[in-house]
Amino acid sequence: MYRTLIFLIILVISSQAKLIGQQKDTYIKAGVLYDSKNNMLQKNKLIHIRGTKIISIGEFQSLPKNSEAIDLTDYTVLPGLIDAHTHVLFSQEANEDFAEHSIQSLTMESDALRTLRGAKRAKSYLAEGITSIKDLGNSGLYLDVALRDAINEGTIEGPRIFASGPILAANGGQVYGVLPEHQNIIDLEYRIITSPEDAKNAVREHVNQNVDVIKICADNIPNKTYLTIDEIKSIVKTAHSYNLKVTAHSVTNQSAWNAIEAGVDGIEHGFNLADSTLVKMAEKRIFLVPTENSKSYMHTYAKLAGYNENELGWIDGYADKMEKRLTRAIEKGVPIVAGSDNYTDIKVTRGKSSKDMFRYYLEAGMKPLNILQSSTYISAFHLGKENEVGHIKANAKADIIAVKGDIMNDFIPTIENVVFIMKDGKVYNNKSN
């Protein structure tokens, strides 16, 4: 028995050594490297990659003799970007009603068709240098988890997905106007919570389906139902016991306050947050994912939705309100995580639509490096994944992109001009040659 055990140990060690020996070494010469943790730019760095992982960050002189490197000396090299609020399994036209379209999708669109469409949308994020997304429901019964697994196993190409599964919500979810006899349709899209004890079971169900994060609706506007503080506390306590973060959809200030009191890790949207709520978020280090769009996006949306030119006066007022909200949050020390929430078809790819969030953050007064940090390191930290993604460092996943231009003084054209995309050590695009 002892000799057999020794033989097995030797076999395992030799197999691992052989596997390591087979992994390819790749080097990248970065003319400018963005250090997302320290929020600074560094010059002339050599990134050593083996297989899917980053081995080290060094100087150009550390390149081994007779080794070739991917030459990105004329570009700014960044960690793969993260969109922390997506819905890749859902899409609607600008002139469609959300509830009506949701019911149509749930009753007249097969899971297979929905997933295939979602796969195409997911791939468009990767094409834009967004190598990770946090996908937050409106995805049927764990279709987001299935899509994540298909990408991870290499069946299809796409970004790394952190999936929430069905959103945990009070009666009716966000699908308004459904008659009592058809409420069972809502269960195909949301996990309806009926009590604090049921909330525990809901989290356990999600854990067994291998979700990455728990998403709740602290309010269901325009439906009038809210999760109670006790229900949210039960969700948070159970999720945290399984090392899962909880993030809360919130439109009203009261629902955000309830979620914060209950111990959530993040607030999604937060359109109407009061200063007192922002102060509490800063004290508790609760993240805000402000899902807003630029003025140009809103004008495009309004045109597609059928607004007349004389009906667009609300855009400037709304944009001003949201810019002031973001400024107040930053001034009070609330950590900001970049997320788009773009599920409306504005006649560009979903990935291109997602990048409009950078334009909004810049219009609202955020500095370029702070925007980058919110879409890399802080976003990864929010997920508890800062040692894996969102940061070019030793032992992290080799998710690396490069952009052409002046990142500090010409931010939007530069962040949109992606010339190199690597995910998990695999090069998906290289226009740098």
Distance between start and end Cα atoms, the chain: 58
In a domain, 196, yes or no: yes
In a domain, 361, yes or no: no
* 297: CATH: 3.20.20.140
149 & 239 share domain: yes
The residue out of 295, 326, 354 marking a domain boundary is 354
In a domain, 381, yes or no: no
290 & 405 share domain: no
Give me the pLDDT at residue 14, please.
47
In a domain, 407, yes or no: yes
296 & 420 share domain: no
Range of the domain at 179: 81-354
Is the pLDDT at 9 greater than 70? The verdict is no
Quick check: bond before 335 cis, omega within 30? no
Q: Which of 372, 388, 371, 392 is nearest to 380 (CA)?
A: 388
DSSP 183-198: GGGGGGTEEE--SHHH
In a domain, 98, yes or no: yes
pLDDT confidence of 360, banded at 50, 70, 90?
Answer: very high
65 & 186 share domain: no
In a domain, 13, yes or no: no
Helix (H) or strand (E) holding 117: helix 111-126
- pLDDT tens digit string along 287-332? 999 999 999 999 999 999 998 888 888 888 888 999 999 999 999 9
- pLDDT tens digit string along 66-79? 888 999 999 999 99
Mean pLDDT to the nearest integer, 34-44: 97
The residue out of 294, 324, 354 marking a domain boundary is 354
In a domain, 372, yes or no: no
Give me the pLDDT at residue 20, please.
47
66 & 182 share domain: no
Mean pLDDT to the nearest integer, 147-171: 97
Question: SS3 sequence, 371-406?
Answer: HHHHCCHHHHHHHCCCCCCCCCCCCCECCEEEECCC
Question: CA-to-CA distance for 44 and 21, rounded, in angstroms?
Answer: 28
- pLDDT tens digit string along 245-280? 999 999 999 999 999 999 999 999 999 999 999 999
* 417: CATH: 2.30.40.10
225 & 250 share domain: yes
421 & 291 share domain: no
This prediction has a pTM of 0.92
In a domain, 10, yes or no: no
Instruction: Answer whether 294's CB lies under 8 Å from 359's CB.
Output: yes
206 & 340 share domain: yes
- pLDDT tens digit string along 197-224? 999 999 999 999 999 999 999 999 999 9
CB under 8 A, 24+ apart: contacts of 65-71: 67/25, 67/27, 68/27, 69/27, 69/28, 69/29, 70/26, 70/27, 70/28, 70/29, 70/420, 70/427, 70/430, 70/432, 71/29, 71/432
The count of structural domains within the chain is: 2
Question: CA-to-CA distance for 336 and 341, rounded, in angstroms?
Answer: 15
Instruction: Answer whether 134's CB lies under 8 Å from 162's CB.
Output: yes
* DSSP-assigned letter for residue 419: E
35 & 99 share domain: no
277 & 317 share domain: yes
Mean pLDDT to the nearest integer, 1-30: 60
292 & 424 share domain: no
68 & 172 share domain: no
